[in-house]
Structure 1
Amino acid sequence: MVSIKDIAKQAGVSISTVSYALNGNPKVTEGTRNKILAVAEELNYVPNAAARTLKMRETKIIGAFLTSFQGSFYGELLQGMKEEANKRGYDLVICSGKQSHRMLPERLMDGAVILDRQFADEQLLQYAKRGHKLVVLDRELQHPGIVQVLLDNKAGGTLAIDYLIRQGHKKIYTVTGPMASYDSQQRLAAAKLAIERNGTVEHHIIYGNFDKPSGVAAAEKIMAEYTEPVAVFCFNDEMAVGMYRALQGTTYTIGKDIHIIGFDHIDVSRYLQPKLATIDYSERHWGAVAAEQLIKLIQEEPVENERIYVSLVEADSVGVV
């Protein structure tokens, strides 16, 4: 059996460097990691944990890799994955953080759903080339071992902006997620296009982080600049909730002075006063479809990329101007 000592010798690096590279440790540069992975693939290297797994051929475990557990978004998504996995005879393991990434190359699971920005595209493609089965929820990657199950972010962004424009709004703020977020990039591109098509709308971008504090910061910025009624498209409901909190006790009224629409239709948004307009879809269905497609991929059944459709929920947080 090929060992990491054999890889180190052929790659001309130390054994510890090989170990770091195979485990995804950031101490190794991307160039060195790619070189070592190429040698490992050439020598048909299999980690010890993988060798134990391969004796049984499968673990009956799938993973879900998340950037974090922050916010109320993930509960329904993971529940959908768990229910579908259990129905098909699999268990679900939830992972977060770079140290957990080693579970993929060590084959401690049969496949994984990826919603984790800490995975580079090249890293996931390399895993797919080595036979790992993956479903991605946060990027577009083309490989037979990867299935995309993506939100229809462009439709959602367009629905939100068109709704604000129909209500007569001429000054619109968009509050984005993190710069590296695929969902945020797609929503911003759709929002810009919808605004450009109108031609008479003033557009301001506030860069946020998909959390309540960035919603608070956005509200404070808008109040500091306020001269007339404005509309705000928050790229998720968490940031919209942050805006509600910041506006409480001020002279500004939601739905009259500052008009807000969110994205996700999380449970808490249903109880805000005034009720929050938002873009709706089923997180549980999204998770279930992701698990279904992953298990089909593992079992070598026909699979296809999926799109999770969205709809507009109108509410009193957006009024006519």
Structure 2
Amino acid sequence: MVSIKDIAKQAGVSISTVSYALNGSPKVTYETTSRILAIAKALNYVPNAAARSLKTRETKIIGVFLTDFSGAFYGDLLQGTRETLTQKGYDLIVCSGKQSHRMLPERMIDGAIILDQTFGSDEMISYADRGHKLVVLDRELSHPNINQVLLDNKAGAMLATEYLIEQGHRTLYAVTGPSGSYDSKQRLQAVMQVVERTSGVTLTVIEGDFNKSAGERAAASIMADTNGGTVSSAVFCFNDEMAIGMFNYLAGNHPEVRIGEQIHIVGFDNIELASYTQPRLTTIDYSKRKWGAFAAEQLIKLINGDTVDHERIYVTLLKGNSVGAGK
């Protein structure tokens, strides 16, 4: 690979002169700069981005770290992030897996937006202590170099649970996310708070994993528990993926069960597929694009040394096109 040393040797100038010329510095005359650029082009010189970032201490690249890429959730989130970063002159890379964490200490990126369970909180604090700028979407951390942009999980879960109770249901099921999920823990706490203050309501918690297959398994368990749906029940799935899995299972195995009457299902996230269920899934809605945009904005502020406050993404209940009734 051609280096600036090779250009300097052929041009008969110092390495620093080549560096100044390649970066458009006025310290080098127009004639010398033109000659150096011509030599660089003839030698097919490609700048070393790693070396340049060490000198400038910036890459103009932001990393978004995700636990995985499965499901229909991430598209709008990443689109909102990308649009804002592009406006600010930054590029975006999406990462997953523990090996990618080294991009922070090796300063291959200028900062990170994290929605990734494989990132330990202590690990993030250690990076922040070394000056790295982080925005977290999946936990609460207190550090001047870390900003939080979190969903209002508790408000959403309360809206969902109260809605099911208002429909007359007294037998409730909650299908959670994976055990390590911050969002799932917050939602479960809120569900339990509503149930504890409402007399005559029973709650059964079924552990899920935010995937359709977990919804299918939960539906099978609920059908067995309610004698094939003859006992009216209501289910709050902690995301739409699992709710759709539940719809699929019931349609394929219990077509006689009327969703919205014998069993009422509420999801969370309002993904696009939720609009195609029959009946239309009731779900907790919020702007995933705005969530990503806020995260990007907050991170750029951190990088620029601006003062930032934590942000919260507010949610609403989006009712489906049927009304259930249970006793």
TM-score (norm 2): 0.82
Please state how far the C-alpha of 1:199 moved relative to its aligned partner.
2.3
| Alignment partner of 1:315 out of 317, 320, 326 | 320
Please state how far the C-alpha of 1:107 moved relative to its aligned partner.
0.6
Q: How far apart in 2 are the matches of 1:260 and 1:93?
A: 36
Please state how far the C-alpha of 1:93 moved relative to its aligned partner.
0.6
* Residue 286 (1) aligns with residue 291 (2): yes
Cα pair 2:262 2:324 within 8 Å, conserved: no
Q: Which residue of 1 aligns with 2:241?
A: 238
How many pairs does the alignment contain? 274
Q: How far apart in 2 are the matches of 1:136 and 1:269?
A: 27
Greater radius of gyration (CA): 2
State the AA in 2 paired with 1:234: C
Q: How far apart in 2 are the matches of 1:125 and 1:96?
A: 19
Secondary structure of residue in 2 paired with 1:128: helix
Q: Which residue of 1 aligns with 2:71?
A: 71
Q: Which residue of 1 aligns with 2:271?
A: 266
Please state how far the C-alpha of 1:50 moved relative to its aligned partner.
7.3
Q: How does 1:215-230 map to 2 (within 5 A)?
A: 215-227=215-227, 228-230=231-233
Please state how far the C-alpha of 1:197 moved relative to its aligned partner.
1.0
Q: Which runs of 4+ in 1 moved over 4 A?
A: 49-52
Q: How does 1:1-321 map to 2 (within 5 A)?
A: 53-227=53-227, 228-249=231-252, 250=254, 251-316=256-321, 318-321=323-326
Give the alignment's Cα RMSD to 1 decimal: 1.4
Secondary structure of residue in 1 paired with 2:55: helix
Please state how far the C-alpha of 1:57 moved relative to its aligned partner.
2.2
Cα pair 1:259 1:317 within 8 Å, conserved: no
Please state how far the C-alpha of 1:258 moved relative to its aligned partner.
1.1
State the AA in 2 paired with 1:269: A
Secondary structure of residue in 2 paired with 1:157: helix
Please state how far the C-alpha of 1:253 moved relative to its aligned partner.
1.5
Please state how far the C-alpha of 1:222 moved relative to its aligned partner.
0.4
Q: How far apart in 2 are the matches of 1:122 and 1:83?
A: 30
Secondary structure of residue in 2 paired with 1:190: helix
Q: How far apart in 1 are the matches of 2:52 and 2:218?
A: 51
Secondary structure of residue in 2 paired with 1:254: coil
Cα pair 2:263 2:324 within 8 Å, conserved: no
Secondary structure of residue in 1 paired with 2:114: strand
Cα pair 2:262 2:325 within 8 Å, conserved: no
| 1:109-131: CA deviation from partner (whole Å, max 9, x where unpaired) | 00000000001110000000000
Please state how far the C-alpha of 1:178 moved relative to its aligned partner.
0.4
State the AA in 1 paired with 2:268: F
State the AA in 2 paired with 1:126: S
Q: How far apart in 2 are the matches of 1:76 and 1:268?
A: 13
State the AA in 1 paired with 2:306: E
Secondary structure of residue in 2 paired with 1:248: helix
State the AA in 1 paired with 2:244: V
Q: How far apart in 2 are the matches of 1:181 and 1:51?
A: 38
Which region of structure 1 is more displaced relative to structure 2, 134-143 or 97-106? 97-106
State the AA in 1 paired with 2:143: H
State the AA in 2 paired with 1:279: I
Cα pair 1:164 1:318 within 8 Å, conserved: no
- The runs of 5 or more residues in structure 1 that have no matched partner are 1-48
State the AA in 1 paired with 2:272: D
Secondary structure of residue in 1 paired with 2:95: strand
| 1:141-183: CA deviation from partner (whole Å, max 9, x where unpaired) | 0000000000000000100001011111100000000010000
Cα pair 1:275 1:317 within 8 Å, conserved: yes
